[in-house]
Structure 1
Amino acid sequence: MAIEFWHNPRCSKSRQALALLQDAGAAVTVVEYLKTPPTQKRLKEVIALLGVEPREAMRTKDKLYRDLELDEVSHQALIKEMAENPILIERPIAISGEKAVIGRPPETVLALL
């Protein structure tokens, strides 16, 4: 089964995690999520697989997060903002079957092998 890998090629951690998977011989389907953002439905699915709250799958230190004043909004509002502003999604995310991980540190993705 291929690992779905939400990738931002400008992010060094994302590049490192992708290289680890490829070097291990994993079949990887790369999704440049900034170009092809996930739907709200897909975000909910992946957040459930991650086993985290929506905020934990976000880049809370990002200027846009602060500008949108997202500290006190509902989970649904956070998911909506991630779908509309995918730069807010923590990266990279790797998904395989019923498991998903945030690749921070990059070696975390190896748990899917």
Structure 2
Amino acid sequence: MSSWKFYHNPNCSKSREALAFLETEAVDFKTVEYIKYPPSRDELRELIAQMTGPLSALVRTKDVEFTAAPFDVNSAEEVALRLSEKPHLMERPVLQGKGKAVVGRPLENIKELIKK
């Protein structure tokens, strides 16, 4: 079983960059195309509990859909609910593993996490 879970959007250049980095580093990870296969609310709760940095970093707050109907990005339960309903509002890429999770913006966040 993979030690890491990589939430990936192949249409995002930052996500593709992080994917290439993980492959180059020979990191054992499972790719989750979260737009096609949205994480459940429980999976998101687990991800949120492991997040390092502000919870708001997990939400695409500049997305038109978010600005039209904003929600409390500091509430773990609200973020889990909304992202389970609208996975495209999840910031990407995200790497989760070994009890931690980071948004890979900048890529250095992922680099630091895998080196720990």
Moved more, 59-68 or 102-111: 102-111
1:18 aligns with 2:22: no
Deviation at 1:71, TM superposition (A): 5.0
Note the alpha carbon deviations across 1:56-106, whole angstroms, 9 max, x for none.
310101111112232589542332111000011111000112121110012
- Structure 1 runs not aligned, ≥5 long: none
Amino acid at match of 1:48: A
Q: Which residue of 2 aligns with 1:3?
A: 4
- Structure 2 runs not aligned, ≥5 long: none
Q: Which residue of 1 aligns with 2:68?
A: 67
Note the alpha carbon deviations across 1:5-38, whole angstroms, 9 max, x for none.
0000000000001111110111121000001111
Q: Which residue of 2 aligns with 1:32?
A: 33
Q: Which residue of 2 aligns with 1:90?
A: 91
User: Aligned residues: percent identity?
Assistant: 37
Amino acid at match of 1:7: H
Deviation at 1:54, TM superposition (A): 3.9
Q: Where does structure 1 differ by over 6 angstroms across 4 or more consecutive aligned residues?
A: none
1:108 aligns with 2:104: no
How does the TM-score come out when normalised to structure 1? 0.88
| Equivalent residue pairs, number | 113
Distance change in 2, residues 1:48/1:24 (3 Å): same
How does the TM-score come out when normalised to structure 2? 0.86
Q: Which residue of 1 aligns with 2:48?
A: 47
Aligned-residue RMSD, C-alpha: 2.0
